[in-house]
Amino acid sequence: MSQKIVLYPDPVLRKKATPVSRISREILDLIDEMTRTMVEADGVGLAANQVGSLHRIFVINTTPHDATPTPVVMINPEIIDQEGSVIEQEGCLSFPNLYVTIDRADRVTVHAKNAFNEAIVYETTGLLARAVQHEVDHLNGVLIIDHVSTDEDKEAVEQWQKNVRPGVEV
Ligand SMILES: [Zn+2]
């Protein structure tokens, strides 16, 4: 069984995740579970906060358009360079059926560790660059609703709140 994805407004989504100091058995198990959960949910990415953990880890599926997923894990990720700007619709597994337009960098370079404790440099663009920025946001307690700026998106959030999560303050 894979883990349950934490939905807004669970407070863990607002917490800042802590850097991983040692890649223990527990961390490796968490990575396995996160990967399985992301693939089952058909997500492009998943951050540890979304399964109730506060380790600085996310997974992304680097082949989101293919039948076979290619998950990559990033431990203690840091965006060290970014350029360009693209406005696109974006969703989040913790906000089922909510889509808002978010302005993100088009190209990012990330430094991280992989599960073998090796330093990796990951350069990506388009959808995956968007996913990386989205997941780094999660690790800092930042959510898609924090990026809402247009009246249309404010309305979408209101409707989502009313129809999908009644009683939830956004
Ligand atoms: Zn998300």
- Residue 94 Cα to ligand 1 midpoint, Å, equals 6
Q: What is the pLDDT of residues 44-57, one digit of tens each?
A: 999 999 999 999 99
Partners of residue 159 on adjacent β-strands: none
Residue 103 domain-assigned (yes or no): yes
Gap between the Cα atoms of 168 and 27, Å rounded: 32
> Residue 80 sits in a domain of what CATH number?
3.90.45.10
- Give the active site residues: 135
Q: How far are the Cα atoms of 13, 74, 145 from residue 161, in angstroms, in the given order?
A: 17, 32, 11
Q: Say which amino acid occupies 68.
A: T
5, part of any domain: no
Which positions ≥6 away from 62 have C-beta within 8 Å? 70, 71, 72, 124, 128
Residue 15 belongs to domain spanning: 11-163
Domain membership of residue 168 (yes or no) is: no
Residue 108 Cα to ligand 1 middle (Å): 18
Task: Report how far ligand 1's centroid is from the alpha carbon of 134 (Å).
Answer: 6
Task: Give the residue ranges of the chain where pLDDT is below 50.
Answer: none
User: What total of structural domains would you count in the chain?
Assistant: 1
CB 77 within 8 A of CB 85: no
Let me know if residue 39 belongs to a domain. yes
What pTM, to 2 d.p., does this model score?
0.95
Residue 6 lies in a domain: no
Whether 1 maps to a domain, the answer reads: no
Within a domain: 157: yes
170 domain-assigned: no
What is residue 3's predicted lDDT score, i.e. its pLDDT?
A: 78
